[in-house]
Structure 1
Amino acid sequence: MPQTTEPADHPAGPVHRFAEIPEGRIHFVEQGTGPVVLLVHGFPESWYSWRHQLAALAAAGYRAVAIDVRGYGRSSKPSEVSAYRMLAHVADNVAVLRALGAETAIIAGHDWGAPIAAHSALLRPDLFTAVALLSVPYAPHGATRPTEAFARLGGDEEFYISYFQQPGRAEAEIEPDVRGWLAGVYAGLSGEAKPAADDQDGNGLTRMTVPRGGKLSDRFPADTTLPSWLTEADLDYYTGEFERSGLTGALNRYRNVDRDWADLAAWQGAPITRPALFIGGDRDAPTHWMADAIKAFPVTLPALSGSHIIEGCGHWVQQERPDEVNRLLIDWLHGLPA
């Protein structure tokens, strides 16, 4: 059974709990009552990335549940790379739903959480009845092996997902100064960041590539002053989580892209037929390098009811623009079939 490990500050406040999975546990934070809205974060974040949504969704009549994805925070961190395949993440979401005692949920994801949410709705539409995707649009399984596609995307440099493939390589860059690295990536991908000097196309890709023989942090802006939406206390929280957990579990998600491609071959080109919502930022790189996926929504997300690109917003959509995202989410939720 799920366990309550911290009392709510008040009866309607957030509660920390755990769901059992074969590899251990998934930590989650819930607030409110009503239909379940399951919130799945991306890299390098945690349940805390949804801190602005929990109370807002609860006030709107929903049971908001933000998880620590396996490999993060207080969730279990299996040692095998293959334990972080997409099928395992979908199974974790099912386990959380069971721990909540709920029959169905609406699911929302940001960054890597968006593909996890999308595949939860694709593979278990009986359980996940609607899906909201933030930052990363849905792209069905294709004919090209992902690592080959990412290698081409990097051009003369190394695309960040390619850089993350070798176990230990990115960890060696990040873990000596977790706080500094996190500050750099949060600031660099924020809508408030100045464009990189060599970003002539305006697509943000130069923040996502690594010079040959270099490090991803070589692409961080020289000025890593925290953006206005991120406080020192927020950065302290994220830093503490990753200093305790390390980065390997989080990075292992990237190391399964080819394994996912093999696992999900039967769903090549498959649309998600459940009601859907997309929210991106016009200063977020995936909005640009995945523009074709957004254009394909009439085919890939036939029940899409809204696609919103927020002006001046970067990658950390629900943290950068919480009020706007909350309004878009809640309006969409209220419009879903009962």
Structure 2
Amino acid sequence: MPQPDHPSFSPADVRHRLVETPGGRIHVAEQGDGPLVLLVHGFPELWYSWRHQLPALAAAGFRAAAIDVRGYGRSSKPAQAHAYRMLDHVADNVAVVRALGERSAVVAGHDWGAPIAANSALLRPDLFTAVALFSVPYSPRGPGRPTDTFARLGGEEEFYVSYFQRPGRAEAEIEPDVRGWLSGIYAALSAGTMPAAGISTVPEGGRLSDRFPEGGLPSWLTEADLDVYAGEFERTGLTGALNRYRNVDRDWEDLAAWDGVAVTQPSLFVGGALDPTTTWLAGAIKAFPRTLPGLTASHILDGCGHWIQQERPDEVNRLLIGWLEGLATG
């Protein structure tokens, strides 16, 4: 069996802390010393989704800091849905960098973490000097209200983002069997276990999980890994995580002054060729020359699904570290 190109993850090597932010506290998992790289996960994940990147970045001379986004894991979970605006997530990232004693950072995000990272760079270019986006490309604020756009994407069915809008509905599907639901969604968006019909839409009266594949875990996920995710979400519930989806229209209103504005810092994009996101956001990728004029490299990994830094950790690590080292010498 081929060996990984970078050091393996060891929980004992990770430093954990809680830092104060405007919305409460954010849990940070750190490894290494050097220039700060802030890692922001997506839905439904945790800091643990960067477990393969933490030791690799540390070995390459960087200080890697993976957070639990507000609403997740050990971080604070404000009760109000409007506390999960994009502006709040950006404020959390700013507070984390300051709490870690740094004056600047490179920010990297996956899934929902990608737009959080991109907007952090957009709103605070003084603090976030470069941005790496995984799976979800940067798409600046546009003229249409997001919920209207998502309704059109669903066609005769309901697009998954629209399905998540109503408070309590997705929770009622997920929380009776958190571990089973997580196993299903991870498999449904992974190479090798992804259903041909996809899971982007929900039929009337149905559930998102109705289209999850049957069978075992995807190859990148062990039972022990799933235990970590399930244990945290069984403890916290899913409302905080789902509230990110319930703020898309508020974000659109909050970011009116940045309509169509590009992120100009050096940037990196890495997506999976089998990821549905690279299909329904293909236009955003084509627009990179305008929306990400500082783009250094864009990669689409053949045979890779959505959970890119976990499905293909060695390849992602090589691309990310190579890009980071290029920033230092460029």
TM-score normalised by structure 2 residue count: 0.95
1:33 partner letter: D
Partner residue, 1:113: 113
Deviation at 1:195, TM superposition (A): 3.6
- Report the CA distance between 1:9 and its aligned residue: 6.9
Tell me if the contact between 2:33 and 2:63 (Cα under 8 Å) persists in the aligned partners.
yes
Structure 1 equivalent of residue 219 of structure 2: 228
CA distance in 2, matches of 1:33, 1:224: 41
What's the counterpart of residue 323 of structure 2? 332
Residue pair 2:23, 2:92 contacting (<8 A) in 1 also: no
Question: Where do residues 38-53 of structure 1 align in structure 2 (5 Å cutoff)?
Answer: 38-53=38-53
How far off is 1:194 after superposition? Answer: 4.3
- In structure 1, distance between residues paired with 2:72 and 2:155: 31
What SS does structure 2 have at the residue aligned with 1:147? helix
Query: Judging changes above 3 Å, is the alpha-carbon distance between structure 1 residues 144 and 9 closer, same or farther for their aligned structure 2 residues?
Result: closer
The residue identity in structure 2 corresponding to 1:333 is: L
Asked if 1:257 corresponds to 2:251, the answer is: no
* 1:271 alignment partner, one of 255, 259, 262: 262
1:137-148 mapped onto 2 (5 Å cutoff): 137-148=137-148
Match of 2:3 in 1: none
Give per-residue Cα distances to partners, 1:55-97, cap 9 Å, x unaligned: 0000000000000000000000000000000000000001100
Aligned match of 1:165: 165
Could you list the structure 1 runs, at least 4 aligned residues long, displaced by more than 4 angstroms after superposition: none
Structure 2 equivalent of residue 203 of structure 1: none
Matched with 1:216 is: 208
1:192 Cα deviation after fit: 1.4
Counterpart contact for 1:209–1:219, Cα < 8 Å: no
**Partner of 1:62 in structure 2?**
62
1:313 aligns with 2:301: no
Distance of 2:304 and 2:109 partners within structure 1: 17
SS at match of 1:93: helix
For 1:50 and 1:218, locate their aligned partners in 2 and report how far apart those are by CA, in whole Å: 29
Structure 2 counterpart SS, 1:335 = helix
Question: Any stretches of 5+ residues in structure 2 without a counterpart?
Answer: 1-9
Secondary structure at 2:304 match in 1:
coil
Q: Measure, in 2, the Cα distance between the counterparts of 1:183 and 1:130.
A: 33
Tell me the distance in 2 between the aligned counterparts of 1:257 and 1:177.
27
Q: Which residue of 2 aligns with 1:207?
A: 199
Residues of 1 paired with 2:84 and 2:94: CA distance?
15
Q: Which deviates further from its counterpart, 35-44 or 13-22?
A: 13-22
Contact kept, 8 Å, 2:37 with 2:64, in 1: the verdict is yes
TM-score (norm 1): 0.93
Looking at structure 2, the residues matched to 275 and 225 of structure 1 have their Cα atoms a distance apart, in angstroms, of 40
Give, in whole Å, the separation in 1 of the partners of 2:235 and 2:194.
Answer: 32
**Distance in 2 (alpha carbons) for counterparts of 1:38 and 1:109:** 8
Q: Which residue of 2 aligns with 1:4?
A: none
How far the C-alpha of 1:22 sits from its partner, in A, is: 2.9
Q: CA deviation at 1:307?
A: 0.5
Partner Cα separation in structure 2 for residue 307 and residue 171 of structure 1: 35
Aligned position for 2:4: none
Supply the AA of the counterpart residue of 2:204.
R
Partner of 2:294: 303
Once residues 194 and 157 of structure 2 are traced to their aligned partners in structure 1, the CA distance between those partners, rounded to angstroms, is: 21
The letter of the residue matching 1:178 is V
Shift of 1:337: 4.2
What is the rounded CA distance, in whole Å, between the counterparts of 2:239 and 2:256 in structure 1? 26
The 8 Å contact of residues 183 and 224 in structure 1, kept in 2 or not, is answered as no
Find the counterpart in structure 1 of residue 7 from structure 2. Answer: none
| Secondary structure of residue in 2 paired with 1:65 | strand
Root mean square deviation of aligned Cα: 1.1
SS at match of 1:191: coil
Matched, 1:73 2:85: no
User: Aligned to 1:283, which of 262, 271, 274?
Assistant: 274
Amino acid at match of 1:207: I
Is 1:98 the counterpart of 2:104? The answer is no
Aligned pair count reads 320
- 2:327 partner SS: coil
2:36 alignment partner AA: V
Report the Cα distance in structure 2 between the residues aligned to 1:9 and 1:93, rounded to whole angstroms: 23
